[in-house]
Structure formats: structure tokens, C-alpha cells
Structure 1
Amino acid sequence: MALVVIPLAVAIVLALVLGTGGGRRAPSAAHAVPPRARRPLLRRSTPIAAEELRTDERILSYTSYVWLGTRHRRDVALTFDDGPGPFTLRILAALERFHARATFFEIGREVRAHPRITQRLARAGMVVGDHTEHHPQLALLRSERQAAEIDQAARAIRAAGAPWPALFRPPYGSFDSATLGLLRSRRMLMALWTVDTRDYASPGVRRIVYAALSGARPGAIILFHDGGGDRSQTLAALPRVLERLRQRRYRLVTLPELLQDDPPPGGQPPPRSLAGD
């Protein structure tokens, strides 16, 4: 009788082990074949790992700058310059009400003055880019000074708790070949803009709304400001812009989403002389 019970017990144990994958759940059919690797879409509202913000090597292989994203998707990237400042968190609150993502190009000295705001942006899933330490016209500076402006701001952003910036925007749109060389050596991409709302001049809420909406198109990069002065008009205009863009079925994304999800077109014309940032 014992001879029968022992083999039977062994058989039961073997059946349980084989049936359960040795104590682990068997992979589902959906994961039997590894999925095709894709760039992260960065849609969550959690801190973003630094490696997820590294500029796509495909983009840097054919351009040092972008002013327009892909035209294949109804994506628009809202960007804000010159912060952080007194209006930044209120602008963030407006974005969060509409479940919108955005990119903030910050000045190093302002980050040092308001590090918790920069940290809050990063924790909210926004992207923080480099906008120099003191907001100078880079084309008027020697290469060594330009490098210091870029690096000091990047260090301030990282020290505040945001990932090391992979995106850079030159103040006033002012840059030269030295600027592009410095960015290439740092594997940073220069992000310009498609639409300038000129909110820095406080032209009125209606004009800011009109400028943003009239220039919006798939792949557009829209420029606003959250720092550098009284941004109450920007704050008042933003909910109207967000609501209209949603009605037009645009997805409001960060620049990494815009660029990594579907890389921008090649052959973008050289930037014109830009002013007003």
C-alpha cells in the first residue's frame, strides 16, 4: 500500500509544479513575443527619469534644433519661458485642470531663488529645459561665457530636483555657431518655437488667445511666458487656449513627447532672426 501512495504523492507534486511554472505565473500569450521597443510617451504625472529625457540620437543625427514637431499627429507642445516665478504654480494648476502637459524653459538664477517650484513642476510630470543662467543674448558672448550660461543653469535645475535638462532654448532666439557646437557636445537639442504669442508684451488676453489658436497646427511649439514680469494676462488666456485646443482634438504634450513619439521632419529651414523672448 505504501508503494502505491508514494508514487501517487510524487505525481501530484510534479503536476502542481509543472502546472504553475514552478511557483511563478505563466506568461500570458500577449507577452509570449517581446513587444517592439518604443520611445516612452511620458504621459504619467510622476517624476520623469533623466534617461527618458535624453535627446533621441536620431534627431541629433540630422539637426541641432527644432521649431516644429511632427505633422503626422494632432500634437501641440505648450512651452513657458523665464520662470520659475510668482505665476508658475498658478499656470501649472491651469494645465493640470485640463490634464495638459507642458515644457518650462527656466533661468538658472530664478531656479536658485525658487527651487521648490522647479521640483514641483518635475513631480507633476512637466519637463524642465535650460534657458541659461542670466538670460543674455548668447550671440554677443564668447564661447566660454556661453558654456558657463548653459552649464550653470543645468546644474541649478538638477540641484532643484528635476532631471538634467536635455532641451535648451536661447533667450531672445539669439545664438550662433558656437552655441550649436556647445549643445552638440552636451547632447542637447535647441528647441525654438513655431508660434510666439507675444504675451511678454502684455497685449491683452484676447490677442494672446488669438495668437496661440491661429498658429496652432499639428506639431506646433507654442511660446508663452511664466516669468519675467506680470503674467496675469497669460494666466487668464491659458484656460481659453487649453479648452479650444481640446475642442479641436489636439493632444497637449511635452516637447519630449512631441519629438520622441514621432521624430520631427528633416530639412527644417534655418531659424530666422527671432526676438521677443
Structure 2
Amino acid sequence: MQTRTVALLALGSVLVLAALVRPDSGDSPAQAEPDEPRRAVVRDWPLLDATGRAPRGSTCGNRSRRVLLSFDDWDYAEPKRMVATARTAKRLDVGMLYFPLGEPNTAYRRAHGKSLADKVRAQGQYVGNHTYDHRSLSTLGAAAIRREIRGGVRSSLLRPPYGAYDAQVAAIASDLRYRICLWTLDTRDWRDLTPKQVRTRIVRNVRPGDVILLHMNHALHRRYDVRALVSAVRSTGLKLCRPYREHGEPATSPVRVPRKLRC
């Protein structure tokens, strides 16, 4: 009887361990690559409170009390709008952070000879990597994660799609010389809120030093007015990050975003 009990306990332990192991995507062997540094386990999703804040979110190099507006994804219907918003921001003396996808950015460069990311940088705005085609990195194997990151826009900042990443993603990003960059305030414009609703969320919840998450690819977002977003933040008495500068003058921002933004 005792022998049977021990055997059943051993079998149960094996089944529990098997259930805890995440199946590999098939893109690479399940074991971690030997040259990758170990990283502490992090959350798959940013921890959001009732207002959409991410207390553990990254400030993306914004160490000031100024607010940083950031835009994810791509305006597929009007890709040049990204450059138009960058020009408006420069005229308003505002520096913003863009995370376009690598796939459409590469296609635009092949068609027009210059990428939209380069045009945005020319306006003193910052550009980060949002992967090649917006696959959730924490569901992929190591080889696929590397392909997604390498296929994205060149930068030193990586914003994983959906904010989803784990220890493996963090280790590979570090190996490729990227820093994970999330946000501290989610406007939830991805719920197709009206521009007015988005501005209201900003005014009610923004705090000094916030990195605000917005998206370029939602239909209603094409009606967003950068001037109105800037005015919404300034109406709270807070200041926004300024465009990149060299020797005190606006300049083209570097491909590798500085660890400390010159806000």
C-alpha cells in the first residue's frame, strides 16, 4: 500500500510540472540561448489600476517632471499623418515618442526612398521599436522574438505589443541592445473613445513625469488634433517634453534614444 501511494505521488508531481511548462512556439528549442543573460521574471501585462495607470511602467528615459506623449502602431489609411503630427509637435516645441511597426515602415521606405521614421526624427521627435508586425512576443519562441525585434524600426527603445513581455523577451531585448519602454498612463483610446473622451482622461489622470500611451491606428484617432492634446496637458499646469536639441537648438534625434531624454 505504501509503495503504491509513493508511486501515485511521484506521478502527480510529474503531471503538475508538465502543466506548468509553457509549450514552445516551434520557432526554436525550448531551452534559453546560452549567451543570453538571466533576467528576473516580469509581468506579462502592465499592472493597470482603475484609471488606466501602470505603476510599474517605464518612463522611457523621461526623468523630468514633464509629460511625454507617445504613439503606438501606424495610421494605415494616412501614413504621412505621422510626419504631419511630428511637424505640428515641433512647432509647438513638444517632443513626442513614436513606435511605428517595422513592416509598413520598410514598405514605405522601399516605395519612397526614405522611411517615415527618419522623417519623424528630422522633426526632433523620438522613434522606438514596436516590432515588425505586432505579434505578442511573450507567446513566441526565442528565434521568432529576435526576428520580430530585428525587423522593427531601429532604436534603443522597445515597446512590446500590448505591453506583453516575460523574462525571455527581456533577456533577448537586452542582448540586442534594447531597453523595454512601456508607459505610465493608458488613455485607452484603443477602446475607440472619442477625442474628447481621451482628452478628458488625460486631464483627470495625468501626473508629473507621465508617459502617456496613445495609438495612431484607431479610426477615430485620425481626427485627433495634436494641438488639442497638447492643450489638454498644459491646461493642468504641467509641461511637456521638448524636441531633441543639440547645443540648445532643435536637431534630428538620434536613432538610439538617449537613456535620459532632454525634456
Q: TM-score range by the shorter chain?
A: 0.5 to 0.7
| SS of match in other structure, 1:231 | helix
In the TM superposition, residue 230 of structure 1 has moved relative to its aligned partner by 4.9
Identical amino acids, percent of aligned pairs:
22
In the TM superposition, residue 107 of structure 1 has moved relative to its aligned partner by 0.6
CA 131–69 in structure 1, closer or farther in 2 if over 3 Å, else same: closer
Larger radius of gyration: 1
| SS of match in other structure, 1:99 | coil
TM-score by length of 2: 0.63
1:61-81 CA distances to partner (integer Å, 9 max, x unpaired)? 99x995247897421111111
> Within 2, Cα distance between the matches of 1:169 and 1:249?
25
CA 181–70 in structure 1, closer or farther in 2 if over 3 Å, else same: closer
> Within 2, Cα distance between the matches of 1:261 and 1:132?
22
CA contact (8 A) 2:99 2:130 kept: yes
CA 71–181 in structure 1, closer or farther in 2 if over 3 Å, else same: closer
> Within 2, Cα distance between the matches of 1:128 and 1:246?
23
CA 261–204 in structure 1, closer or farther in 2 if over 3 Å, else same: closer
CA RMSD of aligned residues (A): 3.0
1:241 aligns with 2:240: no
CA contact (8 A) 2:66 2:210 kept: yes
> Within 2, Cα distance between the matches of 1:71 and 1:109?
27
> Within 2, Cα distance between the matches of 1:165 and 1:71?
16
> Within 2, Cα distance between the matches of 1:195 and 1:88?
21
In the TM superposition, residue 113 of structure 1 has moved relative to its aligned partner by 2.4
CA 199–214 in structure 1, closer or farther in 2 if over 3 Å, else same: same
CA 70–217 in structure 1, closer or farther in 2 if over 3 Å, else same: farther
Counterparts of residues 150-161 of structure 1 (less than 5 Å): 150-153=149-152, 157=153
Unaligned runs of 5+ in 2: 1-38, 43-55, 110-114, 245-256
Unaligned runs of 5+ in 1: 1-60, 158-163, 263-277
Q: Paired residue for 2:100, among 89, 103, 106?
A: 106
> Within 2, Cα distance between the matches of 1:113 and 1:71?
31
CA 84–240 in structure 1, closer or farther in 2 if over 3 Å, else same: closer
TM-score by length of 1: 0.60
> Within 1, Cα distance between the matches of 2:122 and 2:101?
19
- Paired residues in the alignment total 190
CA contact (8 A) 1:167 1:188 kept: yes
> Within 2, Cα distance between the matches of 1:128 and 1:177?
24
CA 138–261 in structure 1, closer or farther in 2 if over 3 Å, else same: closer
